[in-house]
A = this chain, B = another copy of it.
């Protein structure tokens, strides 16, 4: 075997190859969601399966293994050790999953997506049920290949929507605190005499929302040379630092839905844009994890997009598109933070959102453990939604069919949204500490200081640090729900006069 430097260079090139194939899949997914005609699915399914196979082979090949083994024993510097650590982890995980299981999963998912879309449109869970059953079975088969404490922990830690470094016990303790402390706060809000105006409900033509969406992205500094803005049934952002695209979904009757989703996806795209191009395609040039990604989207959606300072500067842009919204900053701010209990996670406010997550988390955990049958999902979904939120979805489309996640193979990932919110609050507190005049900048529409702080503390590191170390370095402490709970108590306490 070659010397350490040569071995590292060769492994680095292999990492680039593997990473480029992941980005190819993202490009195919973008096309599938945004531009592909309805009849294109069978061919696209074969294409994505072929890319997954090629990536799997490159990662699990003998030569990659020899290089990882050679370098795992060497004492490398920080960045190099991180690249080897991440590639070794990905390889180890991939080795446990046989090629045919990867292909069966890909095929199942490509077939499940149109089925989910159709089932949601027709409000017919039974047509999606066999697809969901197949996905759960394959996910369980996948998890059985590993030796974590539970199947659920495997699915949480391994795979595309993974968080390999924050222990599941940390997740549980964060969720426990929210399960305990949010319901009384929500109760107090619902009993408050304050009733913020429903400014963003009504009729907002999609063409105007589209123009406002573009104006919003321009307002927060989106770079059109390195991105696009489109619509997708379930908004997402993907790509590379060179091409980080944003999608959103407009709801004619709810202006805030499209607006907050645009800012949310802008947050994801900003993370992608801030990754180091010199390490393009390697773990050092990739986002840390879904939890960290979600902290970026939540930070822009909530801590920026639902803040009084932001609305003070942004309101004229909105009023320009919708002259009826020529209201006071206070009214707009209150309306943007109106707590309203409903069946849809996608329309939820910052408080009730996490109870929607608990519903999904508990159902997924039971499905994966085998304690719940797929056929029982609609009923249990409705029961839990009622228990946590006091509302029962009237249709499956507004119930267990509302989210795209299961149909794209995302099982055991919903809790990451809540962890993202919690981390966003912690990061935003740290930015405030470093930038005491942050609100003034946000009010003036100057987002560069915030973006630069996030790039410096989070984005540019790629996967250089494991998640706990990244959080510790950026904020000075371990992941904690303190900042999130303080933030929502202060914000909603003040808004609702508690």
Q: Which residues of A contact B (CB under 8 A)?
A: 16-17, 20-21, 23-24, 27-28, 30-31, 35-44, 46-47, 49-51, 53-54, 57-58, 223-228, 239-243, 277, 280-281
Partner of A31, one of B20, B27, B51: B27
Q: How far is the CA of A58 from the CA of B56 in the complex (A)?
A: 13
Number of chain copies forming the complex: 2
With both chains docked as a complex, state the minimum distance between the C-beta of A286 and any C-beta of chain B, in angstroms.
12
Residue of A35, A50, A242 with most partner-chain B CB within 10 A: A50
With both chains docked as a complex, state the minimum distance between the C-beta of A87 and any C-beta of chain B, in angstroms.
15
Contacts of A44 on B, CB cut-off 8 Å?
Answer: 27, 242-243
Contact A242 B40 (CB under 8 A): yes
Partner of A228, one of B35, B50, B280: B35
Contacts of A226 on B, CB cut-off 8 Å?
Answer: 37, 39-40
A-B contacts besides A27-B44, A41-B242, A43-B239, 13 pairs, CB < 8 Å? A20-B46, A20-B47, A20-B50, A21-B50, A23-B47, A27-B27, A27-B47, A36-B243, A37-B225, A37-B243, A39-B225, A42-B280, A46-B281
Contacts of A49 on B, CB cut-off 8 Å?
Answer: 20
Given known A43-B243, A49-B20, contact A37–B281 (CB-CB < 8 A):
no
Contacts of A23 on B, CB cut-off 8 Å?
Answer: 43, 46-47
With both chains docked as a complex, state the minimum distance between the C-beta of A121 and any C-beta of chain B, in angstroms.
16
With both chains docked as a complex, state the minimum distance between the C-beta of A492 and any C-beta of chain B, in angstroms.
39
Chain B residue, CB-CB nearest to A38: B225
- A sample of 19 cross-chain residue pairs with beta-carbon separation below 8 angstroms, ordered by A number, consists of A20-B46, A20-B49, A20-B50, A23-B46, A23-B47, A24-B24, A24-B28, A27-B47, A30-B31, A37-B226, A38-B225, A39-B225, A39-B243, A43-B241, A43-B280, A51-B54, A54-B54, A54-B57, A54-B58
Q: How far is the CA of A49 from the CA of B20 in the complex (A)?
A: 9
Q: How far is the CA of A54 from the CA of B36 in the complex (A)?
A: 24
Partner of A51, one of B21, B46, B241, B281: B21
Q: How far is the CA of A17 from the CA of B243 in the complex (A)?
A: 27
With both chains docked as a complex, state the minimum distance between the C-beta of A292 and any C-beta of chain B, in angstroms.
21
Given known A24-B28, A35-B35, A228-B35, contact A243–B50 (CB-CB < 8 A):
no
Contact B42 A24 (CB under 8 A): no
Q: How far is the CA of A281 from the CA of B57 in the complex (A)?
A: 20
Contact A42 B228 (CB under 8 A): no
The 10 A-B pairs of least Cβ separation, nearest first, read A40-B243, A20-B50, A54-B54, A43-B240, A39-B225, A43-B242, A39-B226, A20-B46, A24-B47, A20-B47
Contact A37 B227 (CB under 8 A): yes
Given known A24-B24, A31-B31, A225-B38, contact A46–B243 (CB-CB < 8 A):
no
Residue of A35, A41, A228, A243 with most partner-chain B CB within 10 A: A243
Q: How far is the CA of A40 from the CA of B21 in the complex (A)?
A: 16
Contact B242 A39 (CB under 8 A): yes
With both chains docked as a complex, state the minimum distance between the C-beta of A128 and any C-beta of chain B, in angstroms.
21
Q: How far is the CA of A27 from the CA of B30 in the complex (A)?
A: 11
With both chains docked as a complex, state the minimum distance between the C-beta of A232 and any C-beta of chain B, in angstroms.
13
With both chains docked as a complex, state the minimum distance between the C-beta of A222 and any C-beta of chain B, in angstroms.
11
Contact A53 B17 (CB under 8 A): yes
Q: How far is the CA of A31 from the CA of B53 in the complex (A)?
A: 22
Q: How far is the CA of A240 from the CA of B42 in the complex (A)?
A: 10
Q: How far is the CA of A489 from the CA of B164 in the complex (A)?
A: 73
With both chains docked as a complex, state the minimum distance between the C-beta of A135 and any C-beta of chain B, in angstroms.
22
Contacts of A35 on B, CB cut-off 8 Å?
Answer: 35, 228
With both chains docked as a complex, state the minimum distance between the C-beta of A202 and any C-beta of chain B, in angstroms.
31
Chain B residue, CB-CB nearest to A54: B54
With both chains docked as a complex, state the minimum distance between the C-beta of A112 and any C-beta of chain B, in angstroms.
17
Q: How far is the CA of A49 from the CA of B49 in the complex (A)?
A: 18
Contacts of A53 on B, CB cut-off 8 Å?
Answer: 17
Q: How far is the CA of A242 from the CA of B114 in the complex (A)?
A: 14
Q: How far is the CA of A339 from the CA of B156 in the complex (A)?
A: 67
Q: How far is the CA of A23 from the CA of B39 in the complex (A)?
A: 16
Contacts of A16 on B, CB cut-off 8 Å?
Answer: 46, 50
Contacts of A41 on B, CB cut-off 8 Å?
Answer: 242
Chain B residue, CB-CB nearest to A50: B20
